[in-house]
Amino acid sequence: MTKKILIINGHPRKDSLNYTMAEAYRKGAENTGAKVKTLNIIDLNFNEFGTVFKDSEPVEDVKKAQELISWADHTVWVYPTWWYTIPALLKAFMEQTLLSGFAFKYLKSDKVIKWDKHLKGKSARIISTMDAPPWYYKLFVRDPGFKTMKSSLGFCGINPVKRSYFGSVKVSTDEQITAWIKGVEKLGRNLK
């Protein structure tokens, strides 16, 4: 069976290392015969400062994003870690896309919150750049960005959620960046 992969790029600038990494992942995955689609959040037309509530209809670009997420077996979330977590643009996208009724559905319950996970059977990979060294981020900061992503995607049924961090970008050499890009391409080639 051909793997269907959706790359979701959460960086607000197209001239970023994250775009190069997303392209490297795509290239690696396509070399295995996978079908790959890319969604650049910056290209979407949605209200990045608001959320979609129960009684309102998602905008057209959010509906298209939901169709792509439904289509994919595996999602790859590429973004920079800023202020220890995901960029605001990516958070707004998640709030407006992973809605009740689409990604999950609350069930009637009098005592505890219960829900159906509508995205079961899907997996995810986080690819994130950062200015902190990844070991420092995981050990001392305690990995809040990954905890947020893993919990949020897991709430919808996406499991497993794996991560790959690249940093410190600020003090990296051209050789290190080249090695990171090759490593991301290898991640695309090695997806099982």
Give the chain's domains with CATH numbers: 4-189 (3.40.50.360)
Amino acid at 117: K
Model confidence at 50, in pLDDT bands (50, 70, 90)? low
What mean pLDDT is reported for the chain?
93
More confident residue, 72 or 50: 72
What b/e sequence results for 147-179 when a residue is b if at least 16 CB atoms lie within 10 Å of its CB, and e otherwise? Answer: eebbebbeebbbeebebbbbbebeebeeeebee
pLDDT digits (tens, 9 = 90+) for 110-129: 889 999 999 999 999 999 99
